Amino acid sequence: MNVESIEKDFRTLVEGETDLLNLVVKLHFSIDKVLDKTLFEALPMANVMELRLVSFLLKFDFLSALSVLSLDVRKFFDYCNSIRNTFAHNPYAIFSDKDVSKAKSLLLSHQCPVVPKSFRTEKNSVEVLKTLFTVCFLQVVVSYEDLCRKKVLNLITSEMTFEAAVGKERRFQGEKSVHEEFVHRCVERLGVLYPAIESGDYYKKAIFK
């Protein structure tokens, strides 16, 4: 299952599912799967790891240690995981008013806004739960895509550096500058390796930082 299909399933759940048990278990599962995909991209030897044996929060900690995920959002993942564990052990559990208050407090207290201002007045427990899990999901997906773009950037940097070192003749199309060729190759390679990820102006901005 690729990240694109996981995103589609996640969006379908958020838009149509109302059963709390299904929501919690399946949304948590989706986040866990994207954590797996991100670890496979971040760790050189991830394929030899038994990721199914690695806990949800330990996956987050690995990615945080690798500077893929920010440590300051761990509180969201920790709470999502605790909610999932509650429902896994008791399928008749509820998302109480106390849980709603805690989730809203976590999301609204984050220094960099992760929810709109209108979320302050949200009282529907299912919507608050969906928002909490969605914030975690988006944090991982955005980090995954950014990681993939960086990997392509490093790959093309090494490729063009090697070409320059061995004196390989430049065969750029038309009258491209080195920068233009770099961007062209990055966008092209990203489309081959990660066709679902858009480049936008990422590589242009990366060059001129």
118-155 pLDDT per residue, tens: 999 999 999 999 999 999 999 999 999 999 999 999 99
Instruction: Among 116, 143, 170, identify where a domain stops.
Output: 143
CA distance 3 to 6: 5
Q: What was the pLDDT predicted at 156?
A: 94
Asked if 83 and 124 sit in the same domain, the reply is yes
Rounded mean pLDDT of 52-71? 92
How confident is the model over 109-125, as pLDDT tens digits?
998 899 999 999 999 99
Of 126, 143, 160, at which residue does a domain stop? 143
20 vs 191: CA distance, rounded Å: 38
Distance CA 35, CA 118 (A): 29
Same domain membership, residue 62 and residue 41? yes
Residue 168: per-residue pLDDT? 66
Concatenate the DSSP letters of all residues of 92-153 into one string: T----HHHHHHHHHHHHH-SS--S-GGGGG---HHHHHHHHHHHHHHHHHHHHHHHHHHHHH
pLDDT for position 165: 83
Same domain, 109 and 128: yes
Quote helix, strand, coil % in the chain, to nearest 5.
75, 0, 25
Domain count, the chain: 2
Statement to judge: residues 136 and 155 lie in one domain: no
Domain boundary (143, 159, 185) is at 143
Looking at the structure, do residues 165 and 130 belong to the same domain, yes or no? no
- The pLDDT assigned to 99 comes to 94
Best CA proximity match to 189, nearest among 202, 176, 177: 202
Please report, to the nearest 10 degrees, the dihedral formed by the alpha carbons of residues 90, 94, 98, 100 taken in order. Answer: 120
> In the structure encoding, which two tokens stand for residue 97, read together?
């008013």
What's the pLDDT score for residue 142? Answer: 95
**Residue 169 in contact with residue 189, Cβ under 8 Å?**
no
What are the residues whose beta carbons fall under 8 Å from the beta carbon of 92, sequence distance 6 or more?
none
pLDDT digits (tens, 9 = 90+) for 187-201: 999 999 999 999 888
Position with higher pLDDT, 65 vs 46: 65
Asked whether residue 95 falls in the same domain as residue 164, the answer is no
Whether residues 127 and 155 share a domain: the answer is no
Q: What is the pLDDT of residue 7?
A: 94
User: What is the reported pLDDT for 120?
Assistant: 92
Tell me which residue range forms the domain holding 102: 3-143
Do 126 and 77 sit in the same domain of this protein? yes
